[in-house]
Amino acid sequence: KNDDDDDNDDDDEKKKTRFRFVLSPDVTPALRTLLHIDNNNSPNNHELNEAPIGTIMEVCPEGLTLIQDIATRIHKCQGAALIIDYGNVGSQDTLRAFQRHKQVNVLSYPGNVDVTADVDFGAMKNAVNVDWNRLQLQQTKATTTTTTTSSSSSLSGVQIVEAFGPQTQGQFLTSMGAVERTIQLIEDDKTSDEQAEELYTALERLVSYDEMGERFKVLAIAQKKDGIFAPPG
């Protein structure tokens, strides 16, 4: 790398992006997903309607669809799923982009920057526990002759798929015995001092509040059964 390369890097940083965020002229799929807008374009989510003007909210319709597809697969085939990623409970302003290990404008160099955003685990949980189960109840009603007299009826007779959590990754791994297992491996006579140090460092990174332990969250999805409570962890 020479001085000319450094000059080019400086020029890249000074260049203004050619794209910008604008208001959509119509209701977007993301807005319909977030606000549950009806056919008359009237939002049903009163809580979000009361958010202050200028509040930034992120929504990922594809992500919510994916999590509901997972719920459907579990409903049909049983089993369970663990969703682990960095994220929060609730929508926040987290959209960002990286290039050459530096954070850059999201709209700079489309296709040549890594764009990411935190997962909204609250929205994912709601997509399963509320939206997906409501759809299952509606489908059950449509295929039976039973008349429901109240909109608040329970899902009696319908096998419920439920999302549990989220827990922080640190809480999850600790409750699953990660600390005890690491200690067991470190104290093994076959473990060298170098391996012991690597084990300790890895555990600290995974469960520490200042590392991945707090930033990463864990959401479990399983079919709810009588007498069975939330999955371990």
E strands, the chain, in order: 80-88, 96-99, 102-104, 114-116, 119-120, 161-168, 216-223
pLDDT for residue 143: 66
Give the whole-angstrom CA distance, residue 217 versus residue 175.
14
Contact indicator for 205, 216 with CB cutoff of 8 Å: no
Confidence of residue 191 (pLDDT cuts 50, 70, 90): very high
80: phi then psi, degrees, rounded to nearest 5: -160, 170
Q: What is the predicted pLDDT for the residue at 149?
A: 44
Q: In what order do the strands lie in the sheet with 102-104?
A: 102-104, 96-99, 114-116
Confidence at 154, pLDDT banded by 50, 70, 90:
very low
Tokens of 204: 């600290």
Q: Are 95 and 58 in contact (CB under 8 A)?
A: yes
Q: Which residue has the tokens 């489908």?
A: 139
With 70 as the cut, is the pLDDT of residue 25 above it? Answer: yes
Residue 17 has pLDDT above 70, yes or no: no
pLDDT score, position 206: 96
Average pLDDT over residues 131-146: 71
